[in-house]
Amino acid sequence: MSAYKLSFLITALLFTQIAFANEVITPLPVNPIYDKKKAAVGKILFFDPILSLDRSTSCNSCHDLAAGGADKKEVSIGIDGLKGNIQSPTVLNARYNFKQFWNGRAETLLEQANGPIHNPKEMGLNSLEVEKRINASHKYKTLFSNYHDGPISYLMILEAIVEFEKALVTPNSKFDRYLRGEIQLTELEYAGYQTFKTLGCITCHNGMNIGGNSFQKMGMIIPYIHKEDYPDLYSLTKKDYHKNVFKVPTLRNIALLAPYFHDASAKTLEEAVKIMSKLNLGYIISEQQIKELVAFLNTLTGETPEILD
């Protein structure tokens, strides 16, 4: 057994033991803090294809807020019909991720927002052209004037988008309300939460975002196919043990986010929990355990962010 696998298994054991003594998942804040004036401008920018070279693609094209903030397609389509090489993750609650993108190459939401605009397969626009378009727009000059006088910089445009993304928090899921002692879970949902902890799922999916706070290898116990063009951690470090290592995705609103995994290979929650239990935990779980886990995962759907009402 490799040192990496041994470290994972030890961590899993420790987290499982801790989980029985203390909750390692915390509720999302009900009233997230963000700049409302900037976020209002960012909301319009998020849906506007003006930020793409051929004016065909917006942020929402790949992070569809009507579909849980992700993309229902296996890979997103950018300018000129160009395809990406990984399934787009949700932007909901992304402010609580410790890094952004599947391989964590962006440390902040600001870095993340900058990436797709410059990516030649996504929006394909340079910062000078973005500034030129926005400053030439009477609409945007009026919108930015609510909190800024003078020319609109590229940084200000990114900051507005980021402030909108900070507002995309989905509080008051059934599970959050359970954690706060406001309601009880059903027998099946509660059994699912106990199974979630007992099997070790909570090793990787913990914290406020129930994920998004660590890197883990897909295929820890049973190896998973690796493709050289995947933007995994290996694509940054070129270390073999980083192949198929990704930022752990959040499980919040997971019932809305099919298809699942970086390659969109699992089409249902049932399929996803069955595969992950086998590949990363080494368990062949029963049909009853699948029902329990899916019932629990369905309690993680939160309210629509207030800014989208």
Active-site residue among 23, 107, 111, 122?
Answer: 122
**DSSP sequence for 94-157:** GGGSSSBSTT--BSSHHHHHHHHHH-TTTT---HHHHHHHHHT-HHHHHHHTTT--SPPPHHHH
Closest CA to 166 of 28, 297, 26: 28
State how far the alpha carbon of 70 is from the alpha carbons of 62, 88, 259, 303, in Å: 6, 6, 10, 16
In angstroms, the CA 2 to CA 164 distance is 43
Is 74 designated active site? no
Backbone angles phi, psi at 148, to 5 degrees: -150, 140
What torsion, rounded to 10 degrees, do the Cα atoms 79, 82, 86, 88 define? 30
In angstroms, the CA 286 to CA 225 distance is 25
Active site residues: 122
